[in-house]
């Protein structure tokens, strides 16, 4: 599903990733760990095509991509529900159907009653849950998540883990996700990639 072949990524004269080679098979759940600034988010951006490698190649066979960014990146002028269903609407799903599906998922994520609330009125953890709903609603076959549990308490995290475990099986999704937390990494992933000084350990 994902293939990195001798990938290097430089920003101006700064070399973030050096000669990275790894692959992720369909249905695998792989964690990415490493110190702050090690290049974890850069790996996800390369997978998604937001960034291009300086050297080497990055290939994916994803049909539908879900991406939970490090920051929620919600549109300030849209309600929580409208933010969550944005990719569904872009795919041509009728508004009424998208809203019903979106509302169910938002309720499951503990956001009952906040459908019509704007991002500025939500907490950081609530915005992050809207972003998780947005990434899951399209039934992605590749899910990229960058510190998806930021701002969440342990009970909430546990609910979201259960939801993710269910959805990953349901969508037969491949998952690549970044976390600093070893408990979070060991709970979901079958393998962890560790980045240090631009190289894979
Ligand atoms: N667009 C950019 N332009 C210049 N430098 C960048 C850019 N994006 C990232 N960097 C640099 O690349 C390095 C790796 O960034 P990245 O966001 O991938 O790290 P990270 O491992 O995800 O860090 P954190 O755990 O703190 O989120 C950092 O030194 C960062 O300053």
Give the CATH number for residue 156.
3.40.50.300
Domain-ending residue, one of 119, 138, 157? 138
10 within domain boundaries: yes
Q: Residue 193 domain-assigned?
A: yes
ipTM for the whole complex = 0.97
| pLDDT single digits (tens) 35-91 | 999 999 999 999 999 999 999 999 999 999 999 999 999 999 999 999 999 999 999
Closest-CA residue, ligand 1 atom 25, reads: 36
pTM: 0.94
Residues in contact with ligand 1 (CB, 6 Å cut-off): 11, 16, 34, 36-42, 70
Give which of 4, 2, 27 is closest to 189, Cα–Cα. Answer: 27
Structure tokens belonging to residue 182: 């070893």
pLDDT band at 7 (very low <50, low <70, confident <90, very high): very high
Name the residue at shortest CA distance from atom 26 of ligand 1.
36
Number of domains in the chain: 2
Residue 128 belongs to domain spanning = 77-138
Considering the domain architecture, whether residues 151 and 199 belong to the same structural domain is answered as: yes
Domain match, 146 and 200 both: yes
Q: Are 79 and 99 in contact (CB under 8 A)?
A: no
């Amino acid at each position: 599903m994902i293939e990195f072949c001798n990938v290097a990524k430089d920003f101006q004269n700064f070399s973030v990733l050096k000669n990275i080679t790894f692959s992720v098979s369909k249905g695998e759940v792989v964690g990415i760990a490493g110190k702050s600034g090690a290049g974890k988010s850069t790996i996800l951006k390369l997978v998604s095509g937001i960034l291009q490698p300086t050297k080497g190649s990055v290939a994916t066979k994803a049909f539908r991509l879900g991406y939970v960014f490090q920051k929620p990146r919600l549109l300030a002028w849209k309600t929580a529900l409208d933010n969550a269903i944005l990719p569904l609407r872009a795919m041509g799903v009728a508004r009424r159907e998208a809203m019903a599906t979106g509302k169910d998922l938002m309720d499951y994520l503990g956001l009952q009653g906040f459908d019509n609330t704007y991002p500025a009125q939500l907490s950081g953890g609530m915005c992050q849950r809207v972003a998780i709903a947005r990434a899951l609603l399209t039934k992605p076959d590749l899910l990229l998540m960058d510190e998806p549990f930021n701002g969440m308490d342990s009970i909430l995290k546990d609910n979201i883990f259960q939801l993710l475990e269910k959805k990953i099986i349901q969508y037969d999704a491949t998952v690549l996700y970044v976390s600093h937390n070893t408990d979070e990494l060991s709970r979901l992933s079958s393998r962890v990639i560790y980045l240090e000084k631009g190289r894979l350990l």
